[in-house]
Amino acid sequence: MASTRHNKYGKGREALLAATVSVVAARGLHGLTFRAVSEVAQVNNTLISHHFGTKEALLHEAVAWATTRAISLSELSAAEEIDESFAAALVDLITREPHLQLFQYEFVLESRRRPELREEAVTLYEGYISALERSLARKGHANTRPLARAVFAALDGLVLQQLTVADPDAVREAVICVGDLLDASLQANRQPV
């Protein structure tokens, strides 16, 4: 009688990508192996090879998957305001799924050591910056690209703080302050001279 394994990550490619993100978040990129992913996903490691071919292909797919998921779950691209609601959603996402952010930080740091990953790391960050830029433009901000980069740097730093040294409530309050600064800047720019 064959035993049935229950995989908490679901089925197919997405389950393998989620398991990859978890492995890298827990063990770093040096801990990424087909065996480690198969243990977390509770599948045979030949399934990973079948879907992705190489560890590098698996990693690249996981970066795209994690970034898209994090942007979607944080509602970054749809956010009209960086306000209490956005701050609460962001803090909740980090609390619920810290591995998404940990994976991305691991990847970005590894791109510093492995230049062949740099372009993909830049693309990862540019995805967040572009999502913020669209949101800021809809709100009426000017010079949105550098502003989006600055706002993302603040949010990215706050995410890292929540993952490492800061209390979620302190991060939530700081995210609200970022939104207040944006609102004040927008109001100042609308004032006649």
d(CA 130, CA 149): 9
pLDDT in tens, 80-125: 789 999 999 999 999 999 999 999 999 999 999 999 999 999 999 9
State mean pLDDT over 62-87.
83
pLDDT in tens, 34-50: 999 999 999 988 889 98
Q: Picking from 7-21, 60-74, 116-130, 147-161, which range would have the lowest pLDDT averaged per residue?
A: 7-21
The pLDDT value recorded for residue 76 is 65
Domain spans of the chain? 12-190
Does position 68 have pLDDT exceeding 90, yes or no?
A: no
Nearest by Cα to 158 from 91, 74, 95: 91
Nearest by Cα to 10 from 1, 21, 2: 21
d(CA 70, CA 3): 34
d(CA 124, CA 122): 5
Nearest by Cα to 90 from 31, 17, 24, 163: 163
pLDDT in tens, 133-172: 999 999 999 899 999 999 999 999 999 999 999 999 999 9
The answer to whether domain 12-190 has CATH 1.10.357.10 is yes
Does position 9 have pLDDT exceeding 50, yes or no?
A: no
The pLDDT value recorded for residue 12 is 79
Does position 8 have pLDDT exceeding 50, yes or no?
A: no
